[in-house]
A and B are shown apart, each in its own frame.
Chain A
Amino acid sequence: MMHFDWVLLIEKCVLILIIISVSLLVAMYETLAERKVAAWMQDRRGPSRAGPWGIFQPLADGMKLFAKEEIIPTSSSRLLFVLGPGLAMLTAMMTSAVVPWSSHFVIGGHVVNMQIADVNIGILYIFGVVSMGVYGIMIGGWASNNKFSLLAAIRGASQIISYELAMGISIIALLMMSGTLSLREIVEQQQNGHYYILVQPLGFLIFLICAFAECNRTPFDLSEAENELNFGYHQEYSSMKLGFYLFAEYVNMFISGAVMATLYFGGYDIPFLNDAAWGAHHGQNWLAIFQVVVFFLKIACFIFFFMWVRWTIPRFRYDQLMKLGWNVLIPLALFNMLATGFIVLLHQNHWHF
């Protein structure tokens, strides 16, 4: 009775290939964008030699990393040392599977959804993968057999675990309003400008701060605090293994931008435009393309925000970081959850006590 759907398999494989290459491409150019933004904020020019306006700089950087000598410390545990950066990269890429990138294309009467998997636990899947992401840092730091690396890895992991709690609680408030975990349904509920940022501003703020911490970005990049820990968890890494760690951070930034845009800013919804009507007039395929472009613009805004913060706010001290996470964000998130639950209940009861 079950015949194998080859068309679906090929469609999904092509989609996975496209999304992974696009993520890598975006991550590549994020490195350039970061340096350009930094330069702009510090009144410098930034990389400008490789190609016009330095647009080949990421290629040059990649070449340099590939050409460097690969060093594996003799006292390290070899397999885990190699596994660490691989795991970091893998978990960074896996998150993209449940993000809906656009509505759908119609190719020869065949509907192609622009989402790899519309699982009904969508947002929890992201949490699961993010919580696995800790191991990339921890294994790498431990396997290096270096005190600084180990300390940095443990710092990074405890930071990620602490902020995951507040992040999860802030998401619960959103899920109480949406009534579903599927990211596609969450986006569809936000069509025509009913964005969840309007009803969950506090939840979004908490989620945003936690996203910074989860990506190990400044002001939360305690695991690479060079004045205390030399280079942090990737101290012993060289060549492309170091490149993987650095790259995974940029992929994470891209994906967390995509997740925030999906959850709170309507995902692929085009602002100030009735998508369905526009699609009926101009054709579904044009609409889908337009939606991808809008979605990527939203993500680009988030990425810029990440960089803006990095070059503006100095790094926290470790006790400040933990105080912020446990004494401020978690109580705030709990309050947000209770208030949202109260209002949702009142609403279901038609505003009667």
Chain B
Amino acid sequence: MGITQVLFWFLSIMAILAAILVVISKNPVHSVLWLIVVFVAISGHYILLDAQFLAIVNLIVYAGAIMVLFLFVFMLMNLNAETEPQKNRWLKIAGVVTGGALLLVLVAALKKADLKAQIAEMNKGDIGLIHNLGVTLFHDYVVPFEISSVLFLSAMVGVVVIGRNEREQKDMWPHGNNYGA
């Protein structure tokens, strides 16, 4: 086994174990922390596939920013094992059935796919390097890219509009800034 294989198995086991722990942790904060471990392991996989840019963006955006926001919410709500609401039993069963159905679909789809011909290229291949990614994104797919960025922008504006509280805005500093006055 070369170093690549050792790393692959290590990262895979780490990702799967951490993913299981995300689900079975009682404390939501622990779940989020395990999810960060999953993201780190997946970033490691990206690096093995020579997609360094994707790896680091995955770390910055998902593990670095989005998970911090998740942590904010959980820490401020002070959720823990005792206060976690107990779900309805039928809801649990429905969840298991839906999850199982998804698994079935995925397995059926992958079984048909010709995976033998598409073994991931490790340690060679430069498709994921930033130069090639930039050319693909801003040359071949520039219109879909721009459209999706407009979509993001409109989503952001929508969040600001919904989240703004008119009354609070007015009352916060009635006569300018009189802190400590």
**A contact residues vs B (CB 8 Å cutoff):** 2, 4, 80, 119-121, 124-125, 127-128, 131-132, 134-135, 138-139, 142, 150, 153-154, 157-158, 161, 164, 181, 317
Contacts and interface: CB of A to CB of B under 8 A. Distances in A.
Given A131-B60, A134-B64, A139-B33, A120 B129 contact: yes
A5 B2 CA distance: 13
22 contacts: A2-B2, A80-B33, A119-B52, A121-B52, A121-B56, A124-B60, A125-B56, A127-B56, A127-B60, A131-B59, A131-B60, A131-B65, A132-B59, A132-B64, A134-B64, A135-B36, A139-B33, A153-B75, A154-B72, A154-B75, A161-B65, A317-B179
Contacts of B56: 121, 124-125, 127-128
B11 interface: no
Nearest to B53: A121
A128 to B, nearest CB: 4
A199 to B, nearest CB: 22
Contact of B76 (A119, A139, A154, A164): A154
Contacts of B60: 124, 127-128, 131
Contacts of A125: 56
A142 B33 CA distance: 12
B52 A134 contact: no
A181 B130 CA distance: 9
Given A2-B2, A154-B76, A124 B57 contact: yes
A344 B16 CA distance: 46
Contacts of A80: 33
B72 A158 contact: yes
B59 A128 contact: yes
Interface of B: 2-3, 29, 33, 36, 52-53, 56-57, 59-60, 63-65, 68, 71-72, 75-76, 129-130, 179
Nearest to A317: B179
Given A119-B52, A121-B130, A181-B130, A128 B64 contact: yes
Contacts of B76: 154
B51 to A, nearest CB: 10
Q: What does DSSP make chain A's interface, helix, strand, loop or mixed? A: helix
Contacts of A131: 59-60, 63-65
Contacts of A317: 179
Q: What does DSSP make chain B's interface, helix, strand, loop or mixed? A: helix
B75 A120 contact: no
A78 to B, nearest CB: 13
Contacts of B179: 317
A128 B64 CA distance: 7
A140 to B, nearest CB: 12
Given A121-B52, A124-B53, A154-B75, 19 more contacts: A4-B3, A80-B33, A120-B129, A125-B56, A128-B56, A128-B60, A128-B64, A131-B59, A131-B63, A132-B59, A134-B64, A135-B36, A135-B68, A138-B71, A139-B33, A154-B72, A157-B68, A161-B65, A161-B68
A10 to B, nearest CB: 16
Nearest to A4: B3
A92 B172 CA distance: 38
A134 B68 CA distance: 8
Contact of B72 (A4, A135, A157, A181): A157
B63 A142 contact: no
Nearest to B76: A154
A150 B75 contact: yes
A333 B50 CA distance: 31
Contacts of A161: 65, 68
B21 to A, nearest CB: 13
A195 to B, nearest CB: 24
**Most interface-central of B2, B63, B68 (chain A CB within 10 A):** B68
Nearest to A160: B68
Contacts of B59: 128, 131-132
B70 to A, nearest CB: 11
**Most interface-central of B2, B72, B76, B129 (chain A CB within 10 A):** B72
